[in-house]
Amino acid sequence: MKSSEKKAPAKPKKKIVEKKVSHAKTPTSTLMQAARGMRDILPNEQAYWVHMDKSFQKALQEFGFRRIQVPIVEYASIYEKSVGGSTDIVEKEMYVFQSRGGDRLALRPEMTAGIVRAFIQHGMHVWAKPLKFFSQGPVFRYERPQEGRYREHYQANFDVFGEVDPVLDAQLIQMASRILSSLGLKKVQFQINSIGCKQCRKDYNHLLVSYFKSKSTKLCADCKRRLSSNPLRIFDCKEEKCTHVRFGAPQSLDHLCKDCHDHFKHLLEYLDELEVSYQINPFLVRGLDYYTRTVFEIWPVEEEGKRVSLGGGGRYDDLVAFMGGEATPAIGFGLGMDRIVAQMKKENTKIFKEPTPKVFLAQLGDLAKKKSLKLFSQLERSGVLVAESFGRGSLRAQLRQASKIEADIALILGQKEALDETIIVKDMASGSQEIVAQDKLPEIIKKLLKNNVVVKHA
């Protein structure tokens, strides 16, 4: 044996020290609770969400939008670069983590960055313009949970690529307005501003810095820092003392270049033509850095001062190029679905109700159960909505279920009826019952219910 092949002396085995995992933040008593700021949306809430989906679907068809889905997880740098390093979202609210493979990822804190990434990745700049995209889903922000502010919330986003004309801005705002009124919301208002383009922003930023510098003792620590990194962000600060200071600040509308000025002027003219009401808010900026020119938010009328928006958006003409794609103007907005539901409740709007079955199909015995399966789908196909609990054997339990769901009619299929191709039709209110041929059933039921509860599936 060569010396190099000699076995090295065995190293003393490393003691494996088990790391103690601290459960301090998730005591057993809270393990069965949703994580802080996250919530369940239970079945009894769903009618509002269905109603919203229907309104969105209608608007998508009317305005020619197509659906797109982008991942909930992206490289964190995508959000950092697009949303902006000095925004609250990136500085304080992103859920960033490292994957097992070592990638630095983030749960999406908004959807636009992912859509722009997809636009660039799939070479959409050569697709026929304008491109109109609709996306929907959960968004995550590590915010201080409170009413209407969650760590997971749902957004519906409408984005248009490839048009710089302000007519698009007006059309998009009109679309948002139509959606809100189709949801029955009346106590909402559009707040609109123009924050100009890169060009006009340069001079405006200087003015802002000198104004806020003169008031710097009255600003919070974050805003003092923002003075040099991104003075426009001071308008977005939620601290009360900063709110007071900003009212005396120079306004972007007074410092727009000619193109931006004309763009905004035309937008307002189009909105007037469309009879969309709005309020010009010279202090409105958005919590994300990518916007240029038009910005807007939808506020509940009664909560004007609280800055709880139901939705918001604006132009982001420079973002695609900034992220490395072909320069493409774009505009979009996001609706906060959780807050819209809350507003619908506040305004007591009428919502679409899922039809509930008024007929219950009960069965007794193996053959009857088999036949019931078929009968159930035959009835559904003929437009009769039927409830059942095929998993239960006892007739009494099934009829109890029929009463629970407030069915008007119970259909009972026993062994004998299954063989005879008949069925018992029982009026739940009076208890009276008759035996009828199965093939006459849809007709008989429709007559009995006087077409009140017979619902055709959409």
Instruction: Give CA–CA dist 85/34, Å, rounded.
Output: 30
Instruction: Give CA–CA dist 227/223, Å, rounded.
Output: 6
Task: Please say which residue, 325 or 332, places its beta carbon nearer to ligand HAM.
Answer: 332
In contact, 270 and 166? CB cutoff 8 Å:
yes
In contact, 208 and 366? CB cutoff 8 Å:
no
Task: Please say which residue, 310 or 453, places its beta carbon nearer to ligand HAM.
Answer: 310
Task: Please say which residue, 81 or 255, places its beta carbon nearer to ligand HAM.
Answer: 81
Q: How far is the CB of 165 from ligand HAM (least distance, A)?
A: 17
Q: How far is the CB of 22 from ligand HAM (least distance, A)?
A: 28
> Which residue in the block uniquely carries the two structure tokens 């749960």?
107
Q: How far is the CB of 166 from ligand HAM (least distance, A)?
A: 16
> Which residue in the block uniquely carries the two structure tokens 């159960």?
369
In contact, 384 and 378? CB cutoff 8 Å:
no
Task: Please say which residue, 132 or 371, places its beta carbon nearer to ligand HAM.
Answer: 132
Task: Please say which residue, 308 or 362, places its beta carbon nearer to ligand HAM.
Answer: 308
Q: Maximum CA pair distance of the chain?
A: 101
Task: Please say which residue, 276 or 310, places its beta carbon nearer to ligand HAM.
Answer: 310
Among residues 265, 255, 209, which one has the least CA distance to residue 232?
A: 209
In contact, 409 and 427? CB cutoff 8 Å:
yes
Q: How far is the CB of 53 from ligand HAM (least distance, A)?
A: 17
Instruction: Give CA–CA dist 423/425, Å, rounded.
Output: 6
Q: How far is the CB of 358 from ligand HAM (least distance, A)?
A: 37
Q: How far is the CB of 250 from ligand HAM (least distance, A)?
A: 24
Task: Please say which residue, 81 or 141, places its beta carbon nearer to ligand HAM.
Answer: 141
Q: How far is the CB of 109 from ligand HAM (least distance, A)?
A: 8
Instruction: Give CA–CA dist 155/343, Å, rounded.
Output: 15
Q: How far is the CB of 38 from ligand HAM (least distance, A)?
A: 11
Among residues 220, 232, 294, 241, which one has the least CA distance to residue 263?
A: 294
- Enumerate long-range contacts of 55-60, CB under 8 Å, 24 or more apart: 55/179, 55/182, 55/183, 56/134, 56/136, 56/156, 56/179, 58/182, 59/175, 59/178, 59/179, 59/182, 60/134
Q: How far is the CB of 303 from ligand HAM (least distance, A)?
A: 12
Quick one: which H or E segment has residue 214? helix 198-214
Sheet holding 409-413, edge to edge: 386-388, 359-363, 409-413, 422-427, 433-437
Q: How far is the CB of 92 from ligand HAM (least distance, A)?
A: 12
Task: Please say which residue, 294 or 363, places its beta carbon nearer to ligand HAM.
Answer: 294
Q: Which residues contact 13 (CB under 8 A, 6 or more apart)?
A: none
Backbone angles phi, psi at 155, to 5 degrees: -125, 150
Q: How far is the CB of 445 from ligand HAM (least distance, A)?
A: 44
Task: Please say which residue, 163 or 338, places its beta carbon nearer to ligand HAM.
Answer: 338
Q: Which chain residues interact with ligand HAM by CB under 6 A?
A: 110-112, 141, 143, 148-150, 153, 155, 157, 159, 287-288, 309-313, 332-334, 336, 338-339
Task: Please say which residue, 143 or 347, places its beta carbon nearer to ligand HAM.
Answer: 143
Task: Please say which residue, 167 or 444, places its beta carbon nearer to ligand HAM.
Answer: 167
Both tokens of 330, joined, read: 């774009």
Q: Which residue is nearest to ligand HAM (CB)?
A: 336
Helix, strand, coil percentages in the chain from 3-state DSSP, rounded to 5: 45, 20, 40
Q: How far is the CB of 28 from ligand HAM (least distance, A)?
A: 28
In contact, 197 and 255? CB cutoff 8 Å:
no
What is the distance, to the nearest Å, from the Cα of residue 48 to the centroid of all Cα atoms in its chain? 13
Q: Say whether 405 sits in a helix, a strand or coil.
A: coil
Task: Please say which residue, 236 or 388, places its beta carbon nearer to ligand HAM.
Answer: 236
DSSP string computed for 22-46 = P-TTS-GGGTTSPPTT-----GGGH
Among residues 234, 233, 253, 254, which one has the least CA distance to residue 244?
A: 234
